[in-house]
């Protein structure tokens, strides 16, 4: 259990490092997307953006698969069909839509990591409870039980030794008497 706990801690540390990196990238991409959106809005107006938003695009398709990490089931998102930007968008919106599409993929990756960290952390908490229960309750109880058993066996052996000595003395006296 301690080895499992240590491995889960390593997995969480790695995932948190990756999470920080992805969050930083997402923040940068959101800021860039917002700047581009503000620029397009200022250049073409809200009516152009609104009409472009009504153009149907291809839907994203996902599959959620289970993945096992040290006995912990975590979700893994598999993108079957990424959101794509068709050529039926106005040219000045295509770049913005592609950036938004890429951002959605990164957000899904972030959600997958957060779910993984959450599930591993919960299993780590339960593993710690088990390890602590073993260290504080079960192992000391068994150690005390073993100590009592050893004492009982030692006492039985001592009594048996005394009986054997008494029998030997009694036999020796009988031999002398005969």
In a domain, 49, yes or no: yes
In a domain, 175, yes or no: no
Predicted local confidence at residue 150, as pLDDT: 93
Q: How do residues 65-79 score in pLDDT, each as one tens digit? A: 998 888 888 889 898
Average of per-residue pLDDT across 111-134: 90
Reference 63, options 80, 82, 38; nearest CA is 80
In a domain, 143, yes or no: no
Count structural domains, the chain: 1
In a domain, 178, yes or no: no
In a domain, 7, yes or no: yes
Q: How do residues 3-60 score in pLDDT, each as one tens digit? A: 888 888 898 999 999 999 999 999 999 999 999 889 888 887 777 777 766 666 677 8
Q: How do residues 135-175 score in pLDDT, each as one tens digit? A: 888 888 899 999 999 999 999 999 999 999 999 999 988 88
Instruction: Look up the CATH number of the domain holding residue 47.
Output: 1.10.287.3240
Predicted local confidence at residue 54, as pLDDT: 62
Terminal Cα distance for the chain, rounded:
68
Predicted local confidence at residue 167, as pLDDT: 92
pTM confidence score:
0.69
Q: How do residues 76-92 score in pLDDT, each as one tens digit? A: 989 888 777 667 677 77
Average of per-residue pLDDT across 98-123: 91
**Which domain does 121 fall in, by range?**
2-133
In a domain, 95, yes or no: yes
pLDDT of 100 > 80? The answer is yes
In a domain, 128, yes or no: yes
In a domain, 120, yes or no: yes
């Amino acid at each position: 259990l301690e080895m499992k706990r240590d491995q889960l801690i390593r997995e969480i540390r790695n995932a948190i490092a990756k999470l920080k990196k992805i969050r930083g990238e997402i923040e940068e991409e959101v800021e860039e997307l917002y700047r581009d959106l503000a620029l397009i809005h200022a250049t073409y107006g809200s009516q152009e953006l609104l009409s472009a938003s009504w153009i149907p695009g291809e839907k994203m398709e996902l599959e959620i698969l289970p993945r096992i990490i040290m006995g912990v089931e975590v979700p893994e998102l598999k993108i079957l069909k990424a959101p794509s930007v068709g050529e039926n968008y106005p040219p000045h919106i295509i770049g913005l839509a592609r950036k938004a599409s890429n951002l959605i993929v990164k957000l899904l990756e972030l959600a997958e990591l957060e779910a993984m960290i959450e599930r591993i952390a919960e299993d780590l908490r339960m593993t710690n409870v088990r390890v602590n229960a073993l260290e504080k309750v079960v192992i000391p109880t068994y150690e005390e039980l073993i100590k009592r058993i050893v004492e009982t066996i030692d006492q039985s052996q001592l009594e048996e030794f005394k009986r054997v000595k008494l029998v030997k003395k009694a036999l020796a006296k009988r031999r002398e008497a005969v």
